[in-house]
Structure 1
Amino acid sequence: MLKLLADRIQHPTGEIDNLNKRIAAGLKAHFPGLLDTHGVGPDSAALYRIVLSRLRWDDRTQDYLRRRLFEGRTRREITRCLRRYVAREIYPLIGPTRSAVCHADPSRTAS
């Protein structure tokens, strides 16, 4: 009896795996970059870690969390807003540096 139940469970699982593979192949054929996970990397992870540490230690961030929870926002929404806030706050500190090329001598950069 248990073998019959196990076979019944495995059959739909195999069908689901097969259909997922076919869907992924079709998406890759028609929309090549759709399934790529761009933007999920060390920068996003760093922002998330900063927000978690601020939620634990920073009184202003804890007050913000309480206010937004009282308003009915979810913790996920609050974390997303805080990540954006942190990104806006630290971007000027780590923004791209500009190195101007000296037109008189292209091998030198202007200071």
Structure 2
Amino acid sequence: MDRADRRRRGKSDPLDAQNAARAVLSGRACARAKAGDGPVQIARMYKLTKASAVKARTQTIHQPKAVLVTADPALREELAGLGNAELFRTCARFTDASSRVEAGEESVLQATRITLGLLASRIGQLSEQIREVDARLTWLVERHAPQLLEVVGVGPDTAVTLLITVGDNPEGWTARRPSPRCGVSPVERSSGRRQFRRLNRGRDRQANAALHRIVFTRLRVDPRTQDYYERRIKEGKTRREIVRCLKGYAAREVFHLVKQLRPAPRS
């Protein structure tokens, strides 16, 4: 969008549509729509399912602990000292025990036990969904881009994130420079006395996180990366500058591995 035009005319859906149409007609807009029918789209759907399940499970995990804060002291002491896994297994059995209680006036303690049991059962269901989606994502990567799994620091989840970022149009990345779509593209900055570069913290945050995981995994387990880090430290580079360079190398390596990926034929 033209920022000067937006300040003069304001922001609204009709104005955005007009500006988009002008950009297309004038040739300034050159982006291509994603095909939406290949393995990348399948990965995008599974990733969406996993993200929502992980978020819901995280919220649900906090709820039993909040319930125990105001629960009956006897129940709280019964569950004190248990780890998360054992706590949820114990709470899951409360639902079965409460279902055998004869009908009558319900007590607060009974309602608390039922609540803990239902929350624990929900956590188990969400965990099972996450495991199932992880298995599907792993199979998808192994079938369509097994070369990514051979890269140090790249697991199935990171590989899926990078495939989604590249999308069905890997030509959008350049072989010589990191993609500006992920935040690896350097940004020129100046303090007044010296010129330097920093990472672009915008763009695709999921791709940024994937490259971050790759680099820090390599710094921990990869001898070549560790040697490179030590050499650049001796040259006077800061840790941030070295990490930025390593992310650029990782982005270029990923580009060469996924540029042959093509969407499946339309059904």
Share of identical aligned residues, percent?
Answer: 48
- The corresponding residue for 1:12 is none
Instruction: Tell whether 2:72 aligns with 1:72.
Output: no
Deviation at 1:40, TM superposition (A): 4.0
Letter in 1 for 2:223: D
Q: Write the distance in 2 (CA, Å) between the matches of 1:51 and 1:38.
A: 18
Q: Write the distance in 2 (CA, Å) between the matches of 1:67 and 1:60.
A: 11
How do 1:49-68 residues align onto structure 2 when only pairs under 5 Å count? 49-68=213-232
Instruction: Tell whether 2:67 aligns with 1:89.
Output: no
Deviation at 1:97, TM superposition (A): 3.5
Q: Write the distance in 2 (CA, Å) between the matches of 1:55 and 1:45.
A: 15
Letter in 1 for 2:7: A
How do 1:1-111 residues align onto structure 2 when only pairs under 5 Å count? 29=7, 38-95=202-259, 97-98=261-262
3-state SS of paired residue (1:77): helix
Deviation at 1:100, TM superposition (A): 9.3
Letter in 1 for 2:247: R
Q: Write the distance in 2 (CA, Å) between the matches of 1:99 and 1:41.
A: 24
After superposition, what is the alpha-carbon deviation per residue over 1:32-77, rounded to whole angstroms, capped at 9, x for unaligned? Answer: 8xxxx74141111100110000000000000000000000000000
Q: Write the distance in 1 (CA, Å) between the matches of 2:207 and 2:236.
A: 29
Letter in 2 for 1:91: F
Letter in 2 for 1:29: R
- Taking structure 2 as the reference length, the TM-score comes to 0.24
Could you tell me which runs of 5 or more consecutive residues in structure 1 were left unpaired when the two chains were aligned.
1-27, 102-106
Q: Alpha carbons of 1:38 and 1:70: their partners in 2 closer, same or farther (altered >3 Å)?
A: closer
Count of matched residue pairs: 71
Q: Alpha carbons of 1:96 and 1:64: their partners in 2 closer, same or farther (altered >3 Å)?
A: same
Deviation at 1:91, TM superposition (A): 1.2
Deviation at 1:81, TM superposition (A): 0.2
CA-atom RMSD, angstroms? 2.8
Deviation at 1:98, TM superposition (A): 3.7
3-state SS of paired residue (2:203): coil
Could you tell me which runs of 5 or more consecutive residues in structure 2 were left unpaired when the two chains were aligned.
1-5, 12-200
Q: Write the distance in 1 (CA, Å) between the matches of 2:264 and 2:217.
A: 37
Q: Alpha carbons of 1:75 and 1:96: their partners in 2 closer, same or farther (altered >3 Å)?
A: same
Deviation at 1:96, TM superposition (A): 6.6
- Larger relative contact order (C-alpha < 8 A, sep ≥ 6)? 2
Q: Alpha carbons of 1:69 and 1:48: their partners in 2 closer, same or farther (altered >3 Å)?
A: same
Letter in 2 for 1:81: C
Q: Alpha carbons of 1:71 and 1:38: their partners in 2 closer, same or farther (altered >3 Å)?
A: closer
- The corresponding residue for 2:132 is none
Letter in 2 for 1:83: K
Q: Write the distance in 2 (CA, Å) between the matches of 1:99 and 1:40.
A: 21
